[in-house]
Chains A and B, each alone.
Chain A
Amino acid sequence: MAEIRIERVTKLFKGTRAADDVSLTIGDGEFMVLLGPSGCGKTTLLRSIAGLEQIDGGRIVIGDRDVTELPPRRRNIAMVFQSYAVFPHMTVFENIAFGLRMRRAAKGDIDRQVREAAELLHIENLLDRFPAETSGGQRQRIAVARALAMEPQVLLMDEPLSNLDALLRLEARAELKRLLGEIGSTTIYVTHDQVEAMSMGDRVAVMRAGKLVQVSDPLTIYDAPVDRFVGGFIGNPPMNFLPARAERRDGGRVAVLEDAGEVRLAEGEDLDGPVLLGIRAENVELVEAGSTGVLHGRVLVVEPLGSHNLVTLQVGAEQLKATTRPDHRLERDQEVGIRIDADRIRWLDAEREVAIGADAVAGPGAGLGPVTAEERDAGTPAAST
């Protein structure tokens, strides 16, 4: 158990900054998820903490020790690799025992710790097998058991579930969360899967282009993204962003959406000029066309998903996604009224695309523009098989 302090860490790769002045403190026993699209530098940061990459600036402190210059074996960490990296020429037992043997632990201790780790992951019946005789899911467990047997201060995981098929991944996710909750070790977990990040992390650190964008608990990240990128990357469907213009009207303030109507601002909102209206699909209510105080739009597509319907609407020149109850009947091209929950709106500066009033919590990577198609693909569960 230990706190990890990452202080102004920079890592260069052939001129690009894979990690750019990253500072992050992970509390003792905390489960921190590093989330971001592929190429954002999250794996580089993890490997720097492990000591597998030499950093070009800053320092890394684990517990009370500055480990910046230490090789991996002296950092008291254990790592689970994306490819699992189990040793094919050793039995499962020897794989799990490997680190303990390197430490020259007593034979009895090795035996006990290997069996304990194997029991935690329910692979005690595989100990005599070679990795080639196990399935992908079992290899993933072997890799986790091998890391846990070391009883490390810090557990580092690099996309440990991404090589499992979808069903197994769902199961392994809950299992891993339970397990790590029991052990209570400080964990840094890298993933590009936003669902994994949301469901597992105590806190999520969103990275982009080598910089931190936002570090918060999952629900804050979901409800109050600091910029358009985070809102678009987290959640399925992504948060809606509609351009609007805030104006004073009848003693209060409204946001005017071109060709669609206007939305009354919540009490105390003090906006003026061009803004972006950010709203989650589930905070949009579809009502009868022509109701008072609503935007008007037209139904483009209705996708029944069982638990709810996903409706795509044309609102002025923009498209908006909304979810409705599964029994809510809507026809294509039907005109509808759109009621937006004013308290759930996330207002963004139209130019910088950073949430208004969020500058204090926004990381240096905030405001680098909307999610690109490529980044978006990396974040959807369907694409992360």
Chain B
Amino acid sequence: MTPAPQAVPMPRRRSGRERLIGRGLIYLAATLLALFILAPIYLIAVSAFTPRESAFDFPRSVIPTAVSTDTILFFLNASGVIDAFWRSVIVALITLGLSLLIGAPAGYAIARYAFRGRGAYRLAVLATRAFPIVILAIPLAVTYRLWGIDDTVLGVALMHTALALPFTVLITSSVFISVPRELEEAAQTLGCNPLQAFVRVSLPLALPGLAAAAIFTWVLSWNDVFAAVILTLRNPTLPAKILTALTQSPIYYQFAAGFVMLIPSVVVIFFIRRYLLGLWGRVVK
């Protein structure tokens, strides 16, 4: 979207040159910010795809001199890496599904219904995150063994869902608050029952916010090491696998691992991004 300067009341007319400088500064800041995030990603990618020896080159060349997939293939073929990768993807997908399935209705309830103890509930949801997970580690592992879900994909996903839910609930509740209630009421006068009004009006309008919650949940699950290490042994997720197996590995394998860790997050964010920006760009208040 291009900025519309006439829409903003200005104390005085700014000259063309000032505006140009202002815009230049914004682009400069955006570029620096992008570099800050993209440069390490790029360097990891370069290191992952160059021959092993050049990982120790100094000064390091920014442009890859020789491309080689040896390192990355060796890493992927190492025992259990591919399995761990898919396990991680499945865990993250289950987490994503569960936390939206449980969190979005909870957020909607907080946003729309004035029920007894709403404030306390909101606080309690957040307070669960104030509880250090380290304290829970042993009881959790024991409980998981008792239930027979230790060392399983579902077990890790449940843990991640528990970790993500408070934020999902809070994010989605603020999203639904921003959708005017009158829109749902209008839908109801036009023939919808409350569920139809939600599905046809509130849900599409809430999509950008739900996308943000989804990205957050995905990243949380994908990055989590602690819960995964506690709860898995023979069936680790990718981060757990990398942490336990690769700490002693040479640095070029670590680069390869880092690159493999990055890719799914980038892909997921790429697809969710367009919902984040809003399908119709501007929303009427």
Contacts and interface: CB of A to CB of B under 8 A. Distances in A.
A72 B182 contact: no
Contacts, number: 72
B283 A102 contact: no
A49 to B, nearest CB: 11
B183 interface: yes
B188 interface: yes
B201 A132 contact: no
Interface in A31-64: 50-52
Interface string A69-104: 001110001110111011111000000001100110
Given A85-B180, A130-B280, A102 B196 contact: yes
A72 B284 contact: no
Contacts of B133: none
A150 interface: yes
A73 B280 contact: no
A52 B189 CA distance: 8
Contacts of B185: 52, 72, 79, 81, 85
Nearest to B184: A85
Contacts of B30: none
Given A81-B182, A85-B183, A88-B205, A71 B188 contact: yes
B184 to A, nearest CB: 9
A89 B284 CA distance: 9
Contacts of A73: 188-193
A83 B182 contact: yes
Given A52-B185, A52-B188, A85-B183, A71 B283 contact: no
Nearest to A150: B190
Nearest to B188: A72
Interface residues of A, number: 28
Interface in B171-198: 180, 182-183, 185-193, 196
A146 interface: yes
Contacts of A51: 188-189
A78 B186 CA distance: 9
A139 B191 CA distance: 21
Interface in A147-167: 150, 156
Nearest to A102: B191
A130 B205 CA distance: 14
B180 A98 contact: no
B118 to A, nearest CB: 15
B284 A131 contact: yes
Contacts of A88: 205, 280, 282-284
B191 A85 contact: no
B204 interface: yes
B9 to A, nearest CB: 17
Nearest to B196: A102
A261 to B, nearest CB: 55
A89 B204 contact: yes
B248 to A, nearest CB: 53
Interface in B2-56: none
Contacts of A87: 183, 186-187, 201
Nearest to A77: B189
Interface residues of B, number: 22
Contact of B190 (A98, A132, A156): A98
B142 interface: no
B250 interface: no
Contacts of A103: 191
B179 to A, nearest CB: 9
Interface string A114-151: 00000000000000001110000001000000100010
Nearest to A134: B284
Contact of A72 (B183, B189, B201): B189
Contacts of A78: 189-190
Contacts of A81: 182, 185-186
Contacts of B284: 86, 88, 131-132, 139
A156 B188 CA distance: 14
Interface in B251-285: 279-284
Contacts of A50: 189
A82 B186 CA distance: 11
Nearest to B279: A89
B180 A83 contact: yes
Contact of B186 (A79, A89, A132, A139): A79
Max count, chain A CB within 10 A of own CB: residue among B201, B279, B284: B284
A132 B183 CA distance: 15
Q: Which 10 A-B pairs have the closest CB atoms?
A: A102-B191, A99-B190, A85-B186, A88-B284, A132-B282, A85-B182, A79-B189, A72-B188, A72-B189, A73-B191
13 contacts: A52-B189, A71-B193, A77-B189, A79-B185, A81-B185, A82-B182, A83-B180, A86-B284, A87-B186, A88-B205, A88-B280, A102-B191, A132-B280
Given A73-B191, A78-B189, A89-B280, 11 more contacts: A73-B189, A73-B193, A83-B180, A85-B186, A87-B201, A88-B205, A88-B280, A88-B283, A99-B191, A139-B284, A156-B189
